Chain A
Amino acid sequence: QKEVEQDPGPLSVPEGAIVSLNCTYSNSAFQYFMWYRQYSRKGPELLMYTYSSGNKEDGRFTAQVDKSSKYISLFIRDSQPSDSATYLCAMSPGDDMRFGAGTRLTVKP
């Protein structure tokens, strides 16, 4: 079993849709949970960061962590064509980071 599982997609949605991206993991030591966004020909950039379980909201983006289920989610409301990118989940026990494979998202106008 991979330490972090993420469906690579691709995922295509119409503009304005609610997008749900997910990752599962197996290491119960993970405490820090991140979502990175990577545009084409760019490096990943940190989008959301959550410590332990719970929800975090930032504008149109909501990150959820359920440590009991070892499951994290990123929701994008009112999706825009500019949200088209690859979204990578990442998690860490504190010093080392493990990444998912990334989900390629296209938002069509």
Chain B
Amino acid sequence: ETGVTQTPRHLVMGMTNKKSLKCEQHLGHNAMYWYKQSAKKPLELMFVYSLEERVENNSVPSRFSPECPNSSHLFLHLHTLQPEDSALYLCASSQDVPGGQYNEQFFGPGTRLTVL
């Protein structure tokens, strides 16, 4: 596997289900991100992890719970979602360099989530 991989690619769940999205990066990066992409809306940054520590949480509802067990893996645990949570969930990674410099983010293919 190369780059950033995400599983599953598609997920349909009911509002009472619990599921998890998985992301794995094979690039040796130390920062990982979860984004939500809805039709005709900008990518919304949900969570940022740097060196396995969460550094940013953009007021995401608690029904989304991230987990970063190591620098290569990132999970997004889902429970009691709402239909408006249906979207493409993208994972990305980058090499985090201190000092406010831009670092290219590499994206996975996304998980297409449908909440019924």
Contact = CB atoms under 8 A, between A and B. Distances in A.
B102 A94 contact: yes
A82 to B, nearest CB: 18
A42 B109 contact: yes
Contact of B43 (A31, A41, A92, A99): A99
A94 B97 CA distance: 10
Contacts of A42: 109-110
Q: At the interface, is chain A mostly helix, strand, loop or mixed? A: loop
Interface string B26-49: 000000000000001111010000
Interface in A92-109: 92-102
A28 B27 CA distance: 32
Q: At the interface, is chain B mostly helix, strand, loop or mixed? A: loop
Interface residues of B, number: 19
B109 A44 contact: no
Interface string B41-64: 111010000000000000000000
A8 interface: yes
A41 B111 CA distance: 9
A75 interface: no
Contacts of B99: 94
B81 interface: no
A100 B107 contact: no
Given A94-B101, A95-B100, A44 B90 contact: yes
A101 B102 contact: no
A13 interface: no
A49 interface: yes
B102 A43 contact: no
Interface of A: 2, 4, 6, 8, 31-32, 41-46, 49, 51, 88, 92-102
